[in-house]
Structure 1
Amino acid sequence: MEIIESTQNKRIKNWKKLLTRKGRKKQSKYIVEGPHLVEEAMKSQAVIESLIISSEKIEAYASYHEKAEFDVAVVTRDIIKLLSDSVTGQGILAIIKMPEKVKELSGLRPVLMLDEIQDPGNLGTLIRTADAAGFEGVILGEGTVDLYNSKALRSAQGSHFHLNIIHDDLKKWITAFSEKNMPVFGTALDERAISFREVEPMNRFGLIVGNEGNGVNASLLEKTTENLFIPIKGQAESLNVAIAAGILMFALYR
């Protein structure tokens, strides 16, 4: 099996561009790293363009490439480091094509809506928690960090393969859910807000959580069915957005 050794190789140069949002958008591809995410991609039938394996790990990852129906590239450890965005490289990456079209949301299960989430670790954790809580999908509003950011993907741990994830205008979805008699809950600390404990669990709703510093945009909060807060018993001023969302998702979904 031929080993790609040059960092000037055309394919390597193109793959390196996928470490930037601009490069991912231009090529409509992204990188996942590590055996767990590669395995999740295979299980979910994501469109894998290439599997990239370090030459020193070729035997360790035999089960991943021996029956592969896609391109397998063997590269040096230095090239793996060049394409990796993590501190501890695991010697295996996959180049995956972004889905051309996402499935429609049925509205039969809850949907998480994200307003200007900035931290990729928070984004990944929110997606993973929505998956664990049984939500149907996640809508990423304008200003939210890139889904295919490497840190977001690591934090999501493959859950982005399991959910319908849509980039869109949240106001449009609030209106659409309202027309289906589907309540939409915001998260806020204003005079309208009520404790989440006052809401009976249900099986279909939208939940909006917002920016780490500023919360949910006021123009969205004006359109919600109710705005909720989590009573804090200790002296902490607030909760991390992913923690708060996790509490609400599990508490509200019957």
Structure 2
Amino acid sequence: MKSASNNQIKLLRKLGQKKYREREGLFVVEGERAVEQVLENGILNVREVFLEEGKAVNYQLTANSFYELDSKVMAEVTDTENSQGILAVCEIPKEASTEELSKKEGLIIATDRIQDPGNLGSIVRTAAWFGATAVLIGKGTVDLHNPKVVRSTAGATGTMPYKNCDLSKDLEVLEKKGWQTLLLDGNEGALSISKINKTNKIILIVGNEANGIDENLINANRKRVMIPSSEENRSVESLNAAIALSIALYQLNA
């Protein structure tokens, strides 16, 4: 197995930053299970795989190239303390267009200023589990291909269409094509998710962890929905965004 070149190592370091991911059209998948999944399912285009020196290759050689990194460099270019000594460089999938999404049916998840990478990763993973049609990444949301987000998706990165967008504009276009928008909101006055009349075109918006959904996205035609708590609950103010989404999607799929 060949050793990674200096240029390859420089690129790996740069891909930790959003501007370089966008410029190169590449991102990094870390960890044994995650790399194994992308090699097996063939959904992502894998450019190269890098392994820590001495790590055995137990995968089909479906990537273009396998390269070795010494342990010090591996620690420098990975985002986790324990990277398991393996990472893959993958091409960022092409974004879906609003026009393409407007012709589909099902459930679209929209994120409004979700800033915690772990939350966004869990949201994507949950959306994939429940067979969501797509994910809209609103302005102010952490980069979908941030290493921490990718790790938190647990292999779901690239498994469904996505679009980085201005939610206010894209929602208007989709609503004109028959999509119904629901605002996942924990505030008083929201309707229980169990009482929603389901349609075959639903957009579910998940808001910012601390501030909820942007007021500019709230209007009379968009229903505010909530996950009701137990009547005996006296201490828990709200649910984590990803957990609330999981319950909502379970209810909408029931």
4+ runs of 1 displaced by more than 4 Å? 189-192
Within a 5 Å distance, the mapping from 1:1-254 to structure 2 comes to 1-4=1-4, 9-42=6-39, 43-57=41-55, 59=56, 61-64=57-60, 67-102=61-96, 104-105=100-101, 106-189=103-186, 193-222=190-219, 224-233=221-230, 234-235=233-234, 236-254=236-254
Q: How many residues align?
A: 247
- SS, match of residue 114 in structure 2: coil
1:204-232, CA deviations, whole angstroms, 9 ceiling, x for partnerless residues? 30000100010001110116431112222
Q: Which amino acid aligns with 1:62?
A: N
Distance 1:174 1:122 in 2: 22
RMSD over equivalenced CA pairs, Å:
1.9
The alpha-carbon deviation at position 180 of structure 1 amounts to 2.2
**After alignment, is 21-30 or 107-116 more displaced?**
21-30
Distance 1:191 1:23 in 2: 43
The alpha-carbon deviation at position 78 of structure 1 amounts to 1.5
Q: Which amino acid aligns with 1:81?
A: A
Residue ranges of structure 2 left out of the alignment (5+ in a row): none
TM-score w.r.t. length of structure 1: 0.90
The alpha-carbon deviation at position 202 of structure 1 amounts to 4.0
Distance 2:77 2:188 in 1: 49
1:56-114, CA deviations, whole angstroms, 9 ceiling, x for partnerless residues? 10x2x2324xx335022112121211111111121111111112443732431110000
Distance 1:200 1:223 in 2: 16
The alpha-carbon deviation at position 170 of structure 1 amounts to 1.1
Structure-2 change in CA distance of 1:133 and 1:2 (3 Å): closer
The alpha-carbon deviation at position 129 of structure 1 amounts to 0.4
Residue ranges of structure 1 left out of the alignment (5+ in a row): none
Q: Which amino acid aligns with 2:86?
A: I
- SS, match of residue 238 in structure 1: coil
Q: Which amino acid aligns with 2:89?
A: I
Indicate if the aligned counterparts of 2:105 and 2:200 stay in contact, CA closer than 8 A: yes
The alpha-carbon deviation at position 190 of structure 1 amounts to 5.4
Structure-2 change in CA distance of 1:189 and 1:197 (3 Å): same
Distance 1:229 1:126 in 2: 17
Amino-acid identity (%): 31
The alpha-carbon deviation at position 157 of structure 1 amounts to 0.9
- SS, match of residue 138 in structure 1: strand
Q: Which amino acid aligns with 1:47?
A: N
